[in-house]
Amino acid sequence: MSDRPPLAHKKLTMQDIADAAGVSPMTVSNCFRYPDRVREKTRVAVMKVAAELGYVPNMSAGLLAAGSSRVVGAVLPSMRNSSFYMYTSGLRRAAEDHGLKLITMIAETEEEELSAVQTLLGLRVAGIALVAGPHAPELRQLLARSGTPVVESWGGEGAIGRGVSYDVGAASRDLTRHLIAQGRRRIGFVQVSGSGGQRYAMRLPAFRREMFAAGLPDSLVLTIRAADGFGSGARILDEFLARDARLDALLCPTDVVAAGAVFECQRRGLSVPGDIAVAGWGDYDIGRQLSPSLTTVAPYSDEIGRSAISVLLEDRPQGAAPVMTPYALEVRESA
């Protein structure tokens, strides 16, 4: 323990920390808001003094144009999805670049999301980042009345606030075309309903258009409520093979589901991609490490996160055209 005497019971200021650390108040401010502007040795010393004295910076100081704090809030439906991990990483890094702090809340239901947003509004955050999906009916009105900038990631036209996404339909088209070009004719498609909004909804129409254009059946579609866990991949493969033993390709909603399908193929003695091609979505690490490695769509989720912060800081009207980020079709061994 340090023998540094505590200051008298009063509200600590940056000047107090500056005096104790032997630096300027501006240096203290930069240590908290723009740490990359301060030499590491100085920053470590200042942060140590602040911790010893119990100083917590007032993050509502230095208001943004919106008249709120230097804290932004993000509400996520889950952290089980690797895309959300990369998305959150992009949010955090972009927020730090602008001297902001990020509060992240998990809300797995519409009711939990509404409660999370109410909490963030109560904290007077500078902006809120949502993820596209079904929302409570009163959420849009609540946010509109608050005047707080909002961005809906993976949101398109009609997004709450302003949308940031990539062309999900085009990605689905590219992946379907790739499978067809590989000679696949009995392609099973997994559709996720009830959650995810545009992240899933735009995929099936594009798949069906490409199958129709190629003169192939588009009826091998299985609708599920959730897309989590390796076990779901095994169950999905079981159901498709029960419907059509000639299945020669499977287009999965996530890389985790696709990996589960690959494991099930291996248990059944089916070759991937020889007997069945398997494609995922999301470019998760499991897909790169799997043998065979997964063909997948890489949505650049970190870029969506970075763009979301930029949208919150822009002086542009809410409801403007969505910001579109890139994606890539990663062709690997499985398809």
Asked if residues 21 and 44 have their Cβ atoms less than 8 Å apart, the reply is no
Distance CA 109, CA 250 (A): 29
Distances in Å between the alpha carbon of 239 and those of 141, 222, 234, 257, 277? 42, 8, 9, 14, 16
Q: φ and ψ at 278, to 5 degrees?
A: -125, 130
Residue 137's CB is within 10 A of a number of other CB atoms, namely 9
Q: What is the dihedral of CA 299, 313, 88, 139, to 10 degrees?
A: -90
> In whole angstroms, what is the distance from residue 197 CA to residue 171 CA?
16
Domain ranges of the chain: 14-53, 71-166+302-325, 168-298
CATH hierarchy code of domain 168-298? 3.40.50.2300
The predicted model scores a pTM of 0.77
Q: How far is CA 306 from CA 10, 18, 66, 108, 252, in A?
A: 39, 32, 19, 23, 27
| Structure-model confidence comparison of residues 64 and 76, the more confident one | 76
Q: Which residue has the higher pLDDT, 88 or 158?
A: 88
Helix 168-181 to helix 203-213 angle, to the nearest 10 degrees?
40
129 pLDDT above the threshold of 90: yes
In angstroms, how far is CA 219 from the centroid of its own chain?
Answer: 31
Mean pLDDT of 62-90: 76
pLDDT at 55: 75
- CATH fold, domain 14-53, is 434 Repressor (Amino-terminal Domain) (1.10.260)
Omega into 57 within 30° of 0, i.e. cis? no
* Residue 301 CB neighbours (<10 A): 26
Angle among Cα 23, 11, 118 to the nearest 5 degrees reads: 110
Q: Does 168-298 match 14-53 at the fold level?
A: no
List phi, psi (to 5°) of 11: -75, 115
In this structure, are residues 161 and 318 in contact, taking their beta carbons and an 8 Å threshold? Answer: yes
Please name every residue paired with 324 in a beta bridge, in sequence order, or none if there are none: 165
pLDDT tens sequence across 200-241: 888 999 999 999 999 999 999 998 876 667 888 899 999 999
The answer regarding whether domain 71-166+302-325 maps to CATH 3.40.50.2300 reads yes
Q: Hey, which residues does 273 pair with through a beta bridge?
A: none
The string of pLDDT tens digits covering residues 143-188 is 988 888 999 999 887 889 999 999 999 999 999 999 999 999 999 9
